[in-house]
Copies of this chain bind each other. A is one copy, B any other.
Amino acid sequence: MSHLFERHRAVFERAQLACQQRHCWSPYPEMPSKYPDAAAAQAKGLTAFQAQLGQPFALEQPGARDAVGEEVSPYTQQPLGITYPRADVDTLFEAAEAAMPAWAEAPIATRLGVLLEVLDVIYREHLFEVQQAVMHTAGQSANMAYAGSGVNALDRGIEALVYADQAMRAVAPTARWERSFGPSNIVLDKTYRLVPRGVAVCFACASFPTWNAWPSMLASLATGNAVIVKPHPATVLPMAISVRVFRQVLAAAGFDPNLVTLALDTVAEPIGKVLVKHPKTAIVDFTGSVRFGQWVEANAHPALAYTETAGCNTVVLESADDLDAALRSLATTLCMFSAQMCTSPQNIYVPAQGVRTPAGTVPFDEVAQRLADAVAALTGDPKKAAMILATIQSPQTLALLAQLKEEGARAGRVLLEPRAYTHPEFPGARTSTPLMLQLDTSARELYGEERFGPVSFVIRCADAADALAQATTDARERGGLTAFLYSSDESYIAQAERAYARAGAQLTINLTGAMPLNFAAAYSDYHVTGLNPAGNASLTNLAFVASRFCISQSRRPAPAAAAN
């Protein structure tokens, strides 16, 4: 099977270099238009997706009990009508355990080769089908579904393989060991075996399913484990397509396809806790809500738990050389996919005195208003709004917006009211422009946690020092994945870098222009630090992979001839 590794060796070695140097690289084109024979591929993907609507999803895996399917497209607000086999959980675990020994005993390069082939098959044969699936479950725009949920997620998968390989290669497979004990010379041959932890359960979230799930699955599989994938019931199709590809490629390579299976539930009958507490569960990867994520962290034992939940991502606006450019960048990022990304900013901390600029200090109220105006400008035209805001994944988000608008009006000032906009291609789409509120730090209970969806808070702080202290305290105590700072004061920047490093939020400083502020580059940006409640693991570093396997050794006297 190592011919598969040979097929992908050049890409893998290039990815190793990128991880080491953390520069920009990807084997994939950034934009759908640059995909080979793009129009045909897109048409084929759309056809595959449409053919699936209203049909049972073909997935041959053990233990099927019945069929379930609850997905509703945020673009049409109509059910997709796809049903998936719901399997008996014990059967899935037994099948996963039975599949593991041959997989675990295969050479590292064999496993890597098979997994690189999986990513390549997804890219070559299913990328636009996944794109459509992500659009009509998570509700992302076509471009984001291609980039963030497609090629960037594939990159993150390769990245996980690079680190898994590095951790495994750090273990010598064999050694000869020779020492005298008194007058005797003892020569031992030692063998070090990499033993997988066991069955991993990978939870995928509703709004961005593939982005963490692919690298998590690959980290577990590369190190010899089996994976049971548990998608959010609202967003099954992207993971169902993924699981089917994994199974096909594994089987074609001569391995048991039950190394990867799909465990389904419904909103009414969730099985998350059953999976986490299953006696055969050895690893849990979780992306999703803070509430369930914290339960996973506290209850997964003896299984390992790797979590990414959410937090109140913070912005500190202290001073700016070009305030308009900063506000434009912030506005864009606040709008991107209606702030339904775990990296979207939410809380904007501004000194009460205002923001210093070369043209003088801009008062707090004016900063808040200009930011709201910048957001309004981006979302006023439905065509532009559609590209940037896309849709609202869950109806609950609309309810939350209504509730927060009321609470915010009582506690502070509504800077921008949310409203539905009419999507030019999908008139039935579930949409909303952002809600923006202006508050004081006394309203921390309103902003001191993630409010999932297009909601942001402009927070009046005592002064610049208070803004930084409030922001980093909120990140550290309430969780935060990303952070954004605008300041022209180098000593303030240095202070912020130190404070955010300890708070564990990944900081972007003074970025303006065409790059979305919260863009996270595979091979270069670490996602989640593990230092605050927004998650306990980082994708991808050595810690994310090194505990997924153990080292069992055996040793015995070397053959007499060799020993002398």
Contacts and interface: CB of A to CB of B under 8 A. Distances in A.
A177 interface: yes
B195 A531 contact: yes
Residue from A177, A191, A501 with most neighbouring chain B CB atoms (10 Å): A501
> Chain A binding site: helix, strand, loop or mixed by DSSP?
mixed
Given A301-B298, A507-B553, A551-B541, A514 B176 contact: no
A24 interface: yes
A379 B39 CA distance: 84
Contacts of A2: none
A526 B195 CA distance: 13
Interface stretch (A40-48, A53-61, A163-171, A370-378): A163-171
A396 interface: no
Contact of A547 (B510, B512, B543): B543
Interface in A509-564: 509-515, 521, 524-526, 529-531, 536, 538, 541-543, 546-547, 550-557
A21 interface: yes
A530 B362 CA distance: 58
B554 A504 contact: no
B554 A179 contact: no
Interface stretch (A5-13, A87-95, A180-188, A434-442): A180-188
A530 B550 contact: yes
Contact of A525 (B506, B553, B556): B553
A332 B206 CA distance: 61
A178 interface: yes
A502 interface: yes
23 contacts: A23-B176, A23-B178, A184-B514, A184-B515, A193-B501, A195-B502, A195-B504, A195-B531, A197-B531, A500-B554, A504-B552, A507-B553, A507-B555, A509-B554, A510-B556, A512-B557, A529-B550, A531-B550, A531-B552, A538-B550, A538-B551, A543-B543, A546-B546
